[in-house]
């Protein structure tokens, strides 16, 4: 990911439009632009406007005010919902904004922000912003971009982090950049003077997702470790997880193992399998590791047992928890 995509030929622009669904990225760009425009932190020349409460005219009035102590007058305005197809809470003077876009004040840095996947391309003001302003889209980063972000962040702070630990961190944070950044900061604080952030640190500090807990449960069952499997199930039940939901995730996990094993034997790599199965590459890596312990016949027997239990639960042929516990014992003895 470019560290300063908001610079235009190495310089600040006078007008920005930041939009997209990745809030963390929007907030970071906002902070960086404000800091670059007001390096001394001068508050007299900084104005933040809530467009739910104030009209667009207030933004433009501020933008046309000559800075008092700085080189720039910085005006941040959000949410700029009037640039999307959503209904806005207020009426805004879009004609005045359209005029301002053609000739923005050279002493102002105006930042319009809206957390939305798309802009309304039919609107004149949107077309003009795309032609004249610096428009940045904060979209969900790829796994490769997140990997590079983690690597850069730990290197900048003098730490090391090996690929398995980074992959684990990205998986546990569900590829959500804001969560990833928060957990990474926590990991670096925890590491302290230690030069390397280990995968054990990630497992210790980063909260597990439900999917990862089901991976762990499946791993216990495949190793025939019934006691920790039951303990994990009880912990999940205490957290409010329904056994029917757990059963559905287990079915998905065993199917993933079976399909991954078949495709791997046909010569497909992890990323190709992930694409075909519709799963995260790291999840496929875990599935392949687990599937090595079982034959195709055993995995098929597990899926039949899960399907039978699912039918029993849904048709009321017994208490759900008793049926689920019986299934766990069955899977642990395959």
Tell me if the pTM is above 0.75. no
- Provide the pLDDT for residue 3: 63
Q: What average pLDDT does the structure give for the chain?
A: 92
Contact 127/135 with Cβ under 8 angstroms?
no
List the structure tokens of 68.
């008092």
- Provide the pLDDT for residue 202: 96
- Provide the pLDDT for residue 19: 97
Q: Is the pLDDT of residue 153 over 90?
A: yes
CA 183 to chain centroid: 12
- CA–CA distance, 309 with 326 (Å, rounded to integer): 9
Beta-carbon contacts of 302 under 8 Å, excluding residues fewer than 6 positions away, are 254, 294, 331, 334
First to last CA, the chain: 47
């Amino acid at each position: 990911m470019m560290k300063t995509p908001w610079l235009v030929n190495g310089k600040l622009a006078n007008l920005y439009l930041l939009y997209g669904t990745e809030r963390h990225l929007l907030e970071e760009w906002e902070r960086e632009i404000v800091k670059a425009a007001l390096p001394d932190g001068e508050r007299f020349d900084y104005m933040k406007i809530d467009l739910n409460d104030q009209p667009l005219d207030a933004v433009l009035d501020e933008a046309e005010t000559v800075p008092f102590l700085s080189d720039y007058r910085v005006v941040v305005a959000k949410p700029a919902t009037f640039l999307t197809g959503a209904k806005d809470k207020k009426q805004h003077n879009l004609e005045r904004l359209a005029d301002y876009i053609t000739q923005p004040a050279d002493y102002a840095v105006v930042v319009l922000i809206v957390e939305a996947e798309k802009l309304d391309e039919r609107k004149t003001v949107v077309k003009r912003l795309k032609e004249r302003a610096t428009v940045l889209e904060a979209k969900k980063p790829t796994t490769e971009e997140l990997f590079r972000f983690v690597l850069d962040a730990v290197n900048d702070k003098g730490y090391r982090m090996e690929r398995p630990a980074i992959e684990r961190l990205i998986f546990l944070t569900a590829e959500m950049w804001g969560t990833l950044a928060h957990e990474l900061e926590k990991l670096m604080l925890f590491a302290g003077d230690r030069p390397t952030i280990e995968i054990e640190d990630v497992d210790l500090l980063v909260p597990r997702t439900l999917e990862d807990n089901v991976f762990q449960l499946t791993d216990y069952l495949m190793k025939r470790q019934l006691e920790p499997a039951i303990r994990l199930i009880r912990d999940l039940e205490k957290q409010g997880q329904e056994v029917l939901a757990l059963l559905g995730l287990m079915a998905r996990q065993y199917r993933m193992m079976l399909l991954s094993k078949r495709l791997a034997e046909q010569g497909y790599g992890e990323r190709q399998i992930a694409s075909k199965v519709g799963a995260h590459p790291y999840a496929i890596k875990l599935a392949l590791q687990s599937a090595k312990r079982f034959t195709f016949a055993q995995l098929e027997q597990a899926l039949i047992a899960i399907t039978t239990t699912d039918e029993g639960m849904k048709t009321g042929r017994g208490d759900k928890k008793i049926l689920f516990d019986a299934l766990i014992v069955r899977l642990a003895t395959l």
